[in-house]
Structure 1
Amino acid sequence: MKTFTIDEAQSLLPLLESLLKRATEGKRAAQAIEAELTELGRRIYLTGGMRVNLAETGRKRTEMEAHLQRVKESIAEIDSIGVQVKDVETGLLDFPCRVDDQVVLLCWRMGETAIEHWHTIEDGFQGRKPVDERFKRRSNSSNNRPN
């Protein structure tokens, strides 16, 4: 498992935020189309059938699948970096980080200006604590290591 210093994680935020926005927008667009198609199905059922523009319906399904593919690609790209996507809707990400010989998760949510929280793997988001000096020391000592 890849681990990050707080500085490494922080430097990835612009890229990750862009990927998350792409995933969130794709998910919302797919959900909107799905709602349209569900409503169409409901109307067909209630009226006992009706004339449907099959080409338009097929185009909407294809468009919905394209949006969902963008969501999957965005999440896969974030995952390939080593960052964990916890919730696309809220833009919640976790960055594995080694502190005091323990792997914990730096926690960031879209809209936050910086990574300011962490939690243990067991505690999850509800156990978020403010980042303290241990993380900054880890960051400084890794930057001072010889190559």
Structure 2
Amino acid sequence: MLRLGQFFQTVLGIIFRHPVTGATIIPILPDGRIVLIRRHDTGKWSLPGGIVNWGEDIPTTVKRELEEETGLTLVKIHRLVGVYSAPDRDPRLHSIAVLVEASVQGTMGAQDTLEVSEVEAFAIGSLPKGDLSHDHDRQLQDYLSGVTTVA
């Protein structure tokens, strides 16, 4: 019985004492606009994305999260923009975000209306920079600067 208790303690330690991995997307429409979502919990604009589910890889997570949060379909992942791992980057928990640039297509509309209140496409010059959710201002700036970041 002691071994079973140690096993559960180890599993719980792994689950609750390690960062959660997620994917964040810079979705680019065919006309060059960037798609953002407005989060229900904070009311702030955000890049779409979410946690990698058990058994998923990053491309599968990107495809799923795009569809759930924006209604858009993934055409192609173009580049890795960065990996963001600062413990305070997400106010809810310690998470690691893998940021990719992706071409998308389709009709915008939030599928997950519990998480997303609005979906909008912005020209680069009209992006609502300065008060994005999480560390998405930094992620967006890294993308626009053309750098690849590990932070």
User: TM-score with structure 2 length normalisation?
Assistant: 0.29
Structure showing the higher helix proportion among its residues: 1
Higher relative contact order, chain-length normalized (CA < 8 Å, sep 6+): 2
Rg larger for: 1
Structure showing the higher strand proportion among its residues: 2
User: TM-score with structure 1 length normalisation?
Assistant: 0.29
